[in-house]
Amino acid sequence: MTAIPDLAAIEARDAADPLRHMRDRFVLPKGVIYLDGNSLGAASKDVFIELEKAAKEEWAEGLIRSWNKAGWFDLTLELGDKVGRLIGAEPGETVVCDTTSTNIYKALHAALSMRPDRSVIVAEGSSFPTDLYMAEGVAATRPGVTIRLEGVAAENIEDLIDDSVAVVLVNHVNYKSGELRDMAALTAKAHAVGALVVWDLCHTAGAMPVDLNGANADLAVGCTYKYLNGGPGAPAFVYAAKRHHDQIQQPLSGWWGHARPFAFTQGYEASPGIRRFLCGTQPILSLRALKGALDVWDDVDLDLLRKKSIELTDLFIELVEARCGEFGVKLECPREGARRGSQVSFSHENSYEIMQALIERGVIGDFRAPNVMRFGFTPLYVGYRDVWDAVEVLRDILATGAWQDKRFAVRAAVT
């Protein structure tokens, strides 16, 4: 066993961290080590400024005039491009709107409309469930559409992709295990048999560089409230490669996706470009908060972000195994940093209770059924010392059995 780093070495890493200054952009509660930014990102000061401006100036003073004067109507595209820069999209390929679930629905319909002779959707049995529920929703009204699940119909998703497949719906990083898929390879595999791929980027947008266009991706969706720090339930995004835009049809064909939304014509005519993924009027206050959150990213080098993310998660694994290994915690995510998202999962037979005890002590991660403790590491506001301190709290809880009075706590969690 090699020696683990000591506290002086940890603090030296914080001091040398080129992203350290980003932490000052965020407001974090005192006494908390926040390892749940992969569920709900923290608030930045930029958000408060934008939100107050949106409510008190644009809405209260500007009233209806702000739809044009404050640029509300184009916010979905403006913010889409800000997200697009972080996921390898060109301007005009990403739009922010609605929810991830709804955008999955649109993207699946769009893919099916581009492959009218095919009727199979391939997805992952281990997916975050809403992806599967939305695929079910698409299949429920679209005649002949069937769903093939990895882990059910075959062990590996690659073995499910043949020339009957219209679209593969796949998570870039698995919400529970943190496993990262090879976007370029899987996309190439699907394209080789004429299938399209919808990437769910919920756990990679803002967690690492994503290169949709580099991977020749077709469609993608994701949320903005995890690593992008857009706020609780902040509107989601949807991406489509430019080469597909003209062929995309999706049934949530509301007036915001119309070619001429203010002509008030009787018949629907899809807008050119990514705007055809829009449907109804978007929640502007939440969008304006998101704008503040995305402005923070203007100053972030995503390669540095990824480097720090791997260092933080590597360190967490190393320290937990060294300091807590004797108490029966077991690594449940890839050990190799390059194959992992910005999160670490450990199992223990009392994971739920241990996580409750951690939260009570100010170390906030989350629990995923049946027995996983999930810890997210947002490189913008988590430091190396945080990792050290979190592990010491975990060790103390395990060593003293301080989780045992949590056994009867009500279980509830939100991803």
Which amino acids are annotated catalytic?
128, 200, 225-226, 374
Q: Which residues ranging from 63 to 92 are in contact with a second copy (CB under 8 A)? A: 63-68, 72-73
100 annotated as ligand-binding: yes
Distance, CA of 283 to CA of 234 (rounded, Å): 9
Three-state DSSP class for 373? strand
134 binds a second copy (CB under 8 A): yes
- Quickly list DSSP for 119-139: -EEEEETTS-HHHHHHHHHHH
34 binds a second copy (CB under 8 A): yes
Residue of 116, 156, 243, 264 that binds a second copy (CB under 8 A): 264
377 binds a second copy (CB under 8 A): no
59 binds a second copy (CB under 8 A): yes
Cβ contacts of residue 239 below 8 Å, gap of 6+?
Answer: 84, 87, 89, 93, 94, 212, 217, 219, 220, 221, 274
Q: Which residues ranging from 303 to 362 are in contact with a second copy (CB under 8 A)? A: 359
State in angstroms the smallest separation of the CB of 197 from a second copy: 21
171 binds a second copy (CB under 8 A): no
Task: Tell me phi and psi for residue 39, to 5 degrees.
Answer: -110, -55
Beta bridge partners of 366: 374
Residue of 60, 153, 184, 409 that binds a second copy (CB under 8 A): 60
31 binds a second copy (CB under 8 A): no
- Which is closer to a second copy, CB of 220 or CB of 284? 284
Count Cβ atoms below 10 Å from residue 29 Cβ, excluding itself. Answer: 9
149 binds a second copy (CB under 8 A): yes
213 binds a second copy (CB under 8 A): no
263 binds a second copy (CB under 8 A): yes
Dihedral sign for Cα 25, 384, 355, 335, please. Answer: positive
Nearest CA to 287 out of 98, 90, 11 is that of 98
Stretch that binds a second copy, among 30-38, 77-85, 301-309, 335-343 (CB under 8 A): 30-38
- Which is closer to a second copy, CB of 179 or CB of 321? 179
29 annotated as ligand-binding: no
Q: Which residues ranging from 8 to 27 are in contact with a second copy (CB under 8 A)? A: 27
313 annotated as ligand-binding: no
* Total number of residues that touch a second copy (CB under 8 A): 94
130 annotated as ligand-binding: yes
273 binds a second copy (CB under 8 A): no
Question: What mask of x and - would describe binding to a second copy in positions 218 to 257, judged by CB under 8 A?
Answer: -----x-x-----xxxxxx------------xxxxxxxx-
234 neighbors 109 (Cβ within 8 angstroms): no
155 binds a second copy (CB under 8 A): no
283 binds a second copy (CB under 8 A): yes
128 annotated as ligand-binding: yes
Nearest CA to 200 out of 214, 219, 215 is that of 219
Cβ contacts of residue 134 below 8 Å, gap of 6+?
Answer: 101, 104, 105, 108
Residue of 78, 92, 99, 114 that binds a second copy (CB under 8 A): 99
- Which is closer to a second copy, CB of 125 or CB of 328? 125
91 annotated as ligand-binding: no
261 annotated as ligand-binding: no
285 binds a second copy (CB under 8 A): yes
- H/E element holding 354? helix 351-360
Task: Tell me phi and psi for residue 219, to 5 degrees.
Answer: -140, 155
- H/E element holding 392? helix 384-400
Burial class (CB in 10 A: 0-12, 13-18, 19+), 394: buried
State in angstroms the smallest separation of the CB of 372 from a second copy: 11
What percent helix, strand, coil does the chain show, rounded to 5?
Answer: 45, 15, 40
- Which is closer to a second copy, CB of 28 or CB of 399? 28
- Which is closer to a second copy, CB of 280 or CB of 401? 280
112 neighbors 138 (Cβ within 8 angstroms): yes
- Specify binding-site residues: 100-101, 128-131, 200, 203, 225, 255, 281
